[in-house]
Amino acid sequence: MTEKDTVDTRWSEMVARVKTERDETAFAELFAHFAPRVKAFLMKSGADPALAEECAQDVMATLWHKAHLFDPERASVATWVFTIARNRRIDALRKNRRPEPEDLTWGPEHEPEQDEAIALQQESEKLGTALAALPEKQRMLIQRAYFGDMSHSEIAEETGLPLGTIKSRIRLALDRLRHEMK
């Protein structure tokens, strides 16, 4: 491992291999790590074990099919998997439609800038560390919010989350993307 390698960078390499080579070994590694977390996440959101198992399989199948849509300059694999699981939950548990923002995508030929992608993955890890270091009470509240257990009016205005640097990273990626789209 070089200094620049992070766990998150490794996951995004696995997704790239699923995308380009339909690599089942890489997919099996992703599955072993993420599927049990997705299943637990869905159960904490109120799904029974059978439904959570089924949805977790669906989420992992979506990861396979949509690997080409993963953008390592704007999200870590964990974040991307989280958004797929969240959408599956809305669909399965709330039976609601979810309005999605207009997609911004690089052109078909775009190869991710390695440095940008690595920087974003590092920011994601830092955010994870910062979250783990929050006082117990605050961390529990944040978890509850993400398990779908708190409405927007119950979420306090001052979330106290250290989002500054990851936000600037994502903002930079968006600026580059907008520049390229012109």
Positions 4 through 43 that interact with another protein (CB under 8 A): 24, 28, 31, 34-41, 43
Q: Kindly state the smallest distance separating residue 3's Cβ from another protein, in Å.
A: 22
* Binding map of another protein across residues 48-77, x = CB under 8 A, - = no contact: ----xx--xxx-xx--xxx--x----xxx-
Please state, in angstroms and as integers, the Cα–Cα distance from residue 172 to each residue in 99, 120, 126, 137, following that order: 25, 10, 18, 33
Please identify, using beta-carbon distances, which residue of 13 and 35 lies nearer to another protein. Answer: 35
Number of residues that bind another protein (CB under 8 A): 82
Question: For residue 171, what are the CA distances in angstroms to 21, 160, 163, 175, 180?
Answer: 31, 20, 12, 6, 14
Does the protein bind another protein through residue 152 (CB under 8 A)?
yes
- State the DSSP string of 2-21: -TT--HHHHHHHHHHHHHHH
CB of 119 to another protein, least distance (A): 13
Q: Is 46 in the site for another protein (CB under 8 A)?
A: no
Asked whether position 153 contacts another protein by CB under 8 A, the answer is yes
CB atoms within 10 A of CB 173: 23
Sign of the CA dihedral running 23, 119, 116, 38: positive
47 binds another protein (CB under 8 A): no
Choice between 116 and 170, CB closer to another protein = 170
